[in-house]
């Protein structure tokens, strides 16, 4: 018996339910609401991390961008900054995510397609040409190769003479969710978590302003989990990471303040706001009661939110702007720290320049025109939202208890229990969309009419750019000091075998022009490969 609300039994509750299947009553009164929560900025931070909410400054406006090579991406990032974006978010291509060089036969057809190709330090330097890394933060959606990408970034800073202590940003570095969703993994779970932990430990020592992990729910939701279920698994995974770092003898308060999280805003605005309020409450309690945190910063759930990419329809794509707006508004009501919303052409391709600018404008309109920033936690005291927050909190805590008391996340992922739970929800959701019980306006409901496909101008992949990338890589290998590169790779292999932190070795390798494919092949020889159970 599952401890979460499943969409499978929604019909028992009648017609009204939240997106996660929580029943919703005809109306709410004071009798339904829990006692008032502590003020914004006070433990357990249900009402927000800051006493003044967004009054001084809004969340970080951060749209996900990257394609082709370093120069293409540099141009796109500068364009976004010129239009008011306040943080960068770099999309990396699949070969980079999977540890393959751009001239590897397995990378064929994918170089620079869904993100930018990064093979070596030179590519990182091209992406950041003229961008002041000491004053703007960067987020990298990178997991299996997160240690390598961070090493390239740190090597770039070292070369520029930027102190490591000034670097701010995030690497996703959340391998556990890759095995249950998204699938960008290479090594077995225990070795993967070991590399995540090396990175967290390195940042605790060297990069005090860097978020060494963004523990993510959003991808599990995309794989089919309900929003609340994805949040539950997020905290179970977070506990697994914390236990791995603690096992190295590092005190909780020495790394927890820099842990960050990723869970997204979906179409149900009220459940979205309630989920962010609940997540802050749950994390504050885990940090204090489970891990004995004393530092208040360790108890703060700092979250980046995405939007509902899976709700973006190919039918009448301009309608997606309304969906993006609701996502952004829900996230803002929930008190998030950083936000990206999907783009209206999301169902077609990676975004065009027009589509990504529109997404940034949607965020700006919500931030500067809607009034959502005038006061902290504007929904506080709503009978409905407070009752929902309490229910979501209880469900998340029940999921965490269920997973941690039956082996924990690594066991649940290795034997496929987490995948199976998510797959079951995926199917029930798809059936609900298929027969119109869940409405996507313009797409699946005959009552509202069917929209047509649109002849949108979509992003065009340029195969010539991929070839040029592979050529540059070959030139780099031909021109480097081969002895230095070999020594650096030997150092990485030795550290990997002897449980020594690999990070400084990776930074040295980056400076010796060692490539991401060479480093990943070295890890593969030590750790072996892995195929996760599909859970079906």
Partner 1 sequence: MTRVLLAKPGLDGHDKGVKVLATMLRDAGCEVIYTGLHQTPERIALAALQEDVDVVGLSMLSGAHMELTADVLRELKSAGLGDRPVVIGGNIPRHDIAKLEALGVARVFPGGSSYDDIINWFSGLASHRPVS
Residues lying near partner 1 in the complex (CB under 8 A): 94-95, 97-98, 100, 106-110, 113-114, 178, 182-185, 222-224, 313-315, 347-350, 423, 426-427, 430-431, 434, 443, 453, 458, 461, 531-532, 534-536
- For residue 345, the minimal CB distance to partner 1 (Å) is 11
Of the two residues 26 and 435, which places its CB atom closer to partner 1 in the complex? 435
Q: What is the DSSP string of 325-371?
A: HHHHHHHHHHT-SEE----TTTTTSSPPHHHHHHHHHHHHHHHHHS-
Contact 185, 530 (CB under 8 A): yes
- For residue 307, the minimal CB distance to partner 1 (Å) is 17
Contact 193, 410 (CB under 8 A): yes
Of the two residues 49 and 350, which places its CB atom closer to partner 1 in the complex? 350
| Residues contacting residue 209 through CB under 8 Å, at least 6 positions apart | 165, 166, 167, 168, 258
Buried residues in 321-353 as b, exposed as e (16+ CB within 10 A): bebbbbbbbbbbbbbbbbbbbbbbbbbbbbbbe
- For residue 285, the minimal CB distance to partner 1 (Å) is 31
Nearest CA to 66 among 79, 56, 48?
Answer: 79
323 phi and psi angles, rounded to 5 deg: -65, -45
- For residue 187, the minimal CB distance to partner 1 (Å) is 13
- For residue 170, the minimal CB distance to partner 1 (Å) is 21
Q: Which helix (H) or strand (E) covers residue 394, if one does?
A: helix 383-404
Q: Which helix (H) or strand (E) covers residue 177, if one does?
A: helix 176-180
Of the two residues 281 and 313, which places its CB atom closer to partner 1 in the complex? 313
Nearest CA to 235 among 403, 3, 22, 21?
Answer: 403
Of the two residues 290 and 427, which places its CB atom closer to partner 1 in the complex? 427
Of the two residues 163 and 183, which places its CB atom closer to partner 1 in the complex? 183
Neighbours of 531 (CB within 10 A): 8
Of the two residues 312 and 388, which places its CB atom closer to partner 1 in the complex? 312
Of the two residues 394 and 434, which places its CB atom closer to partner 1 in the complex? 434
Strand stretches in 186-315, DSSP E: 210-211, 214-216, 260-262, 303-305
Of the two residues 259 and 347, which places its CB atom closer to partner 1 in the complex? 347
| Residues contacting residue 57 through CB under 8 Å, at least 6 positions apart | none
- For residue 184, the minimal CB distance to partner 1 (Å) is 5
Query: What would you measure as the largest C-alpha separation in the chain, in angstroms?
Result: 73
Of the two residues 458 and 526, which places its CB atom closer to partner 1 in the complex? 458
Q: How many CA atoms does the CB half-sphere of 34 hold within 13 Å?
A: 15
Of the two residues 350 and 489, which places its CB atom closer to partner 1 in the complex? 350
- For residue 288, the minimal CB distance to partner 1 (Å) is 36
Of the two residues 39 and 439, which places its CB atom closer to partner 1 in the complex? 439
Buried residues in 97-109 as b, exposed as e (16+ CB within 10 A): bbbbbbbbeebee
Angle (deg, nearest 10), helices 516-527 and 189-206: 130
- For residue 314, the minimal CB distance to partner 1 (Å) is 5
- For residue 343, the minimal CB distance to partner 1 (Å) is 14
Q: What is the DSSP string of 40-105?
A: TTSTT-TT-SSTTTTSSS--EE--EE--SSHHHHHHHHHHHHHTT--SEEE-B-HHHHTT--TTSG
Q: Which helix (H) or strand (E) covers residue 138, if one does?
A: strand 138-140
47 phi and psi angles, rounded to 5 deg: -90, 10
- For residue 526, the minimal CB distance to partner 1 (Å) is 20
Q: What is the DSSP letter of 290?
A: I
**Rounded (5°) CA angle 326-306-145:** 170
Sign of the alpha-carbon torsion through 521, 503, 87, 61: positive
Angstrom distances, CA of residue 246 to CA of 96, 219, 240, 249, 254: 30, 26, 10, 5, 10
Of the two residues 210 and 348, which places its CB atom closer to partner 1 in the complex? 348
- For residue 22, the minimal CB distance to partner 1 (Å) is 22
- For residue 125, the minimal CB distance to partner 1 (Å) is 25
- For residue 535, the minimal CB distance to partner 1 (Å) is 8
Of the two residues 278 and 347, which places its CB atom closer to partner 1 in the complex? 347
Radius of gyration (C-alpha) of the chain in whole angstroms = 23
Of the two residues 183 and 292, which places its CB atom closer to partner 1 in the complex? 183
- For residue 429, the minimal CB distance to partner 1 (Å) is 9
């Amino acid at each position: 018996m599952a401890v979460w609300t499943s969409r499978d039994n929604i019909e028992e509750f009648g017609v009204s339910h939240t997106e996660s299947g929580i029943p919703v009553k005809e109306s709410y009164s004071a009798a339904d609401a829990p006692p008032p929560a502590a003020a914004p900025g006070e433990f357990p931070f249900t009402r927000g991390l800051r006493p003044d909410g967004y009054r001084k400054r809004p969340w970080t406006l951060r749209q996900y961008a990257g394609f082709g090579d370093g120069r293409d991406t540099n141009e796109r990032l500068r364009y976004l900054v010129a239009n008011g974006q306040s943080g960068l978010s770099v999309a990396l291509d699949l070969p980079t995510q999977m540890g393959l060089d751009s001239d590897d036969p397995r990378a064929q057809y994918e170089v620079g397609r869904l993100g930018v190709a990064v093979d070596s330090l030179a590519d990182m330097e091209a992406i950041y040409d003229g961008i002041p890394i000491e004053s703007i933060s960067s987020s990298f959606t990178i997991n299996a190769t997160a240690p390598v990408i961070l090493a390239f970034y740190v090597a770039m800073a070292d070369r520029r003479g930027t102190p490591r202590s000034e670097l701010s940003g995030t690497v996703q570095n959340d391998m556990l969710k890759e095995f249950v969703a998204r699938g960008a993994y290479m090594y077995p779970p225990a070795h993967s978590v070991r590399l995540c932990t090396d990175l967290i430990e390195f940042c605790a020592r060297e990069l005090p302003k860097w978020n060494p992990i963004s523990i993510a729910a959003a991808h599990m939701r995309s794989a089919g989990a309900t929003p609340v279920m994805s949040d539950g698994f997020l905290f179970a995974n977070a506990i697994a990471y914390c236990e791995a770092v603690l096992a190295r003898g590092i005190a909780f308060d020495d790394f927890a303040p820099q842990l960050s999280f990723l869970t997204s805003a979906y179409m149900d605005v009220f459940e979205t706001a309630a989920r962010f309020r609940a997540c802050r409450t749950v994390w504050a309690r885990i940090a204090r009661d489970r891990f004995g945190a004393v530092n208040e910063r360790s108890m703060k759930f700092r979250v980046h939110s995405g939007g509902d990419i899976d709700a973006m329809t190919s039918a009448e794509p301009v309608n997606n702007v309304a969906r993006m707006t609701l996502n952004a508004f829900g996230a803002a009501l929930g008190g998030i720290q950083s936000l990206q919303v999907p783009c209206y052409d999301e169902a077609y391709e990676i975004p065009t320049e027009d589509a990504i600018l529109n997404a940034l404008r949607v965020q700006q309109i919500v931030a500067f025109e809607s009034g959502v920033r005038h006061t902290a936690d504007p929904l506080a005291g709503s009978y409905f939202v407070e009752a929902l927050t309490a229910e979501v909190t209880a469900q998340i805590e029940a999921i965490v208890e269920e997973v941690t008391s039956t082996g924990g996340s690594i066991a649940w992922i290795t034997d496929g229990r987490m995948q199976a739970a998510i797959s079951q929800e995926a199917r029930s959701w798809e059936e609900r969309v298929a027969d119109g019980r869940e409405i996507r306006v313009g797409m699946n409901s005959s009552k509202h009419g069917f929209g047509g496909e649109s002849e949108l101008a979509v992003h065009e992949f340029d195969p010539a750019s991929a070839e040029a990338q592979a050529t540059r890589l070959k030139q780099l290998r031909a021109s480097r000091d081969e002895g230095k590169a070999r020594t650096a790779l030997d150092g990485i292999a030795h550290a990997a075998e002897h449980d020594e932190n690999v990070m400084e070795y990776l930074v040295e390798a980056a400076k010796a022009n060692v490539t991401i494919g060479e480093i990943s092949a070295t890890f593969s020889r030590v750790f072996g490969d892995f195929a996760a159970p599909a859970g079906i």
